Amino acid sequence: MRRAIALAASGLGSTSPNPVVGCLILDASGRPVGEGFHRRAGGPHAEIHALRAAGERARGGTAYVTLEPCDHTGRTGPCSQALVEAGVARVSYAVADPNPRATGGGETLRAAGITVEQGLLAEEAEAGNIAWLTSVRLGRPHVTWKYAATLDGRIAAADSTSRWITSAEARADVHRLRAEADAVVVGSGTARTDDPHLAVRGIEGAVQPLRVVVDTEATAVRPGARILDGAAPTLIAVAEDAAPTDSAHLPDVVRLPRGARGLDIPALLRALYERGVRSVLLEGGPALAGSFVAAGAVDKVIGYLAPVLLGAGPAALADAGITTIAEALRLRMTESVRIGPDLRITAIPEPAGPAAPAVAARGPAAVTAVTTAPAVPGTTTTKER
């Protein structure tokens, strides 16, 4: 199953609006004979790739799949039926499919006399497919807020200079995040100050994400902006009551209602979801990040911290509607990785309600391991296993 999870990760950034899925097939004697992953929406699912590779050797064997085999006919046929026809004897899937249109594969397999097991490495498989799972459960894209800052939390100096706080290694890692996302979002302040490009560079075969500028007043993206160069699709989100402006230079504009802080963030996420976006990388400045946090629309935080001190300058997060320590958004750190001279910290919001149980209470599998980070050669990582 761990191999299937690794296979699924190969599809990150290229399968939306479908999930990432990996499959490994063993023959009747337990030898690996076929593997595959979902490569793109509309193409064969992971199980089909693996079954084709295994051929007749799948008969009497076992299929390990990260997500419950689908049970409906869309652009492709049901994987549950394909597994039945291949003659596999056992199927183990990690996560049940929450999509009401596709669920039921497990029952179809059982009805055909196949032994079915669910839940093996479910937590790891869910983490690898969290963007799609979030989109199905909440009806909006999964949002990762990424920022780069000094150790004292500054994203720029007092004179507004900010290039470059972090190292070349950290900036290369950001391109990996972009390649795994369906959309990259910035605000009008970043558009004016940095004239960002936002396309993926240095990653062969990457599917370019949708570049989104939240330009509430429709004044930040001017002719000649780098984001308009055609290297990737671009969307400009403006307020529905923004003053009319010459938009002939803009490739695509969506008008949305205003919220308490600029554009209405839930409306923005709904608009992106309707365009097939299932994962968002928020690279905007502190004001836009504050709006997302205030809207409860940040699912993961990735901070790149450089061993630098400034003492003055803007902080990573502006007003997020938090006025007292009791209202603080508490996060659980899930990973810390050294990338070149910098530190990348990943954290997710703690669930609402009673405090989460201590690590020790989650069982003997919850241990801390230090390994080599796969993203950047020569880095070290501490992960919660």
What amino acid positions are annotated as catalytic residues? 47
CB 114 within 8 A of CB 93: no
> Beta strand pairing status for 142-150 and 300-306?
parallel
Taking CA atoms, 288 is separated from 185, 232, 291, in Å, by 9, 22, 5
Three-state secondary structure readout of 90-129: EEEEEECCCCCCCCCHHHHHHHCCCEEEECCCHHHHHHHC
CB 166 within 8 A of CB 306: yes
Residues 117, 94: Cα–Cα separation, whole Å: 8
Residues 380, 146: Cα–Cα separation, whole Å: 20
Which sign does the torsion angle of CA 124, 128, 133, 134 carry? positive
Residues 358, 301: Cα–Cα separation, whole Å: 21
Give residues with Cβ within 8 angstroms of 77, minimum separation 6: none
Taking CA atoms, 68 is separated from 79, 342, 382, in Å, by 9, 39, 30
Tokens of 341: 């001279």
Chain centroid offset of residue 382 CA: 20
> Beta strand pairing status for 279-282 and 142-150?
parallel
